[in-house]
Amino acid sequence: MVGSGGREHALAWRLAQGGGIQIYATPGNPGIASLATCLPVAQTDVAALASAAADLGIGLTVVGPEAPLAAGLADAFAAQGLKVFGPSAAAAQIEASKAFAKSLMRRWQIPTADFKAFDDSSDAISYVRRSSGRVVVKADGLAAGKGVVVARTAAEAETAVADFMVRRVHGPAGARVVIEECLDGEEASVLALVCGERVWPLVPVQDYKRAGDGDNGPNTGGMGAIAPAPLPGGLMGQVIDQILEPVAAAMAREGRPYTGVLYAGIMVTADGPKVLEFNCRFGDPEAQVILPLLQGSFADILLDVVDGRTPPLRWSTGAAACVVLASGGYPGHYRTGFPIAGLEQVPQDIRVFHAGTAVADARLVTAGGRVFNAVGLGPTLEGAVSRAYAGVAPILFDGMQYRSDIGRGIHTVRQAELASAPGGTE
């Protein structure tokens, strides 16, 4: 298992539930260390990872974050005959280059916001000035979730273009930008297991991206999540038919067959679902609410996908909610190294995944922007949310912040929809 955040702790926890499985994590974190042997290998040193996996006789490597995949981890492993749950570098381009993803969608008529890509900042700026409506400016490459500006004015869009292309605030990721029309609607994250042209959707998730209650404040990696997301009836079918299956087919037909989990960030617009972005991995914190609802041996499910067999996807009937506990100041500047209290008072039924923690002088301390994820389960969404907050209550560290409205005040919650998880399709 490659990675070190809350998503990876959830992956390791779910893999360990299979029993009889020995897990090695690299680099891991203090939470993962209770389930796995942690090895100090850099996440993007794909050659070192491949030789470690070969030496240890690893049967399946599961990759959490996008960077090792974009760096060719799956290719290096395949060259040594090692199995990986995750796409090749060519297929990971669907996340690693927004211009690639957008042009793929255009070639295959997959619904997404209208766009134009630019390699020249003055062309991009004159396009912004000529645009009539609001625009969104995106750095082409990987920018740790910070490469998107939903501009309120043309001036803000121009500043974003200059920041990305001229000032290079995200380095080479901003050498090219995508400028797209601004869409209106509710967002949902729909992930699917994919092998070539075959697609097996997971339960839909709602991610809470903004730092503050009421969706105020800056965008973050995600401050919480709920699953199954209460989507309008029929929407899941549209996402599968119009987006997930066509994109898997497009990738295969363009010589970049996809293996792994494909994450579609969707805007539910008045014209139907449109793609905001694709990610080549599980979402964080989406994984933390999907995995507790998935039944059966997780390792076997992932092996089925890698080997091209239909995985048996069975879902609990209830719901899951995740509340992220973050360092004060996140996603901007924050301090780390604060001691953490109260973990042992968290009720037994609540899972606390470590996202950014470290052990210093035999004490657990904060070590990242997102520190913990409290995950509650329940027969209803309301029940899951209240269990997640029961997990938050005892935990304390200096500067701790979290949203108090995860899963609360959702307008379209209908019990019937919550109960209907998607079945697999091929």
Which residues of the shown chain bind ligand AMP in the complex (CB under 6 A)? 113, 136, 138, 148, 150, 180, 182-183, 187, 209, 219, 265, 276-277
Number of residues in contact with ligand GLY under rule CB under 6 A: 8
Nearer to ligand AMP, 58 or 113 (CB): 113
How far apart are the C-alpha atoms of 285 and 395, rounded to whole Å? 19
State the minimum distance, in angstroms, from the CB of residue 59 to ligand GLY: 26
Nearer to ligand GLY, 64 or 174 (CB): 64
Angle between helices 89-96 and 245-253 (to 10 degrees): 130
224 contact, one of ligand GLY, ligand AMP, none, CB 5-8 Å limit per kind: none
In this structure, are residues 112 and 103 in contact, taking their beta carbons and an 8 Å threshold?
Answer: no
State the minimum distance, in angstroms, from the CB of residue 184 to ligand AMP: 7
Q: Which residues share a beta bridge with 351?
A: 375
Which residues lie below 8 Å from residue 258, measured CB to CB, with a gap of 6+? 87, 91, 94, 194, 195, 196, 248, 251, 252
Nearer to ligand GLY, 5 or 83 (CB): 5
- Residue 382, amino acid: E
Nearer to ligand AMP, 52 or 148 (CB): 148
Q: Please, where are the H alpha helices in 80-130?
A: 89-96, 98-107, 121-130
284 makes contact with ligand GLY (CB under 6 A): yes
Measuring CA to CA, which residue among 113, 220, 204, 237 is closest to residue 412?
Answer: 204
Q: Please, where are the H alpha helices in 274-406?
A: 286-290, 298-307, 381-392
By CB atoms closer than 10 A (0-12, 13-18, 19+), residue 187 is middle
State the minimum distance, in angstroms, from the CB of residue 209 to ligand AMP: 5
Nearer to ligand AMP, 229 or 377 (CB): 229
Nearer to ligand GLY, 7 or 102 (CB): 7
Q: Which residue number is nearest to ligand AMP in terms of Cβ?
A: 277
- Contact pattern for ligand GLY over residues 208 through 237, marking x by CB under 6 A: -------------xx---------------
Task: Catalog residues that contact ligand GLY under the rule CB under 6 A.
Answer: 145, 207, 221-222, 279, 283-284, 286
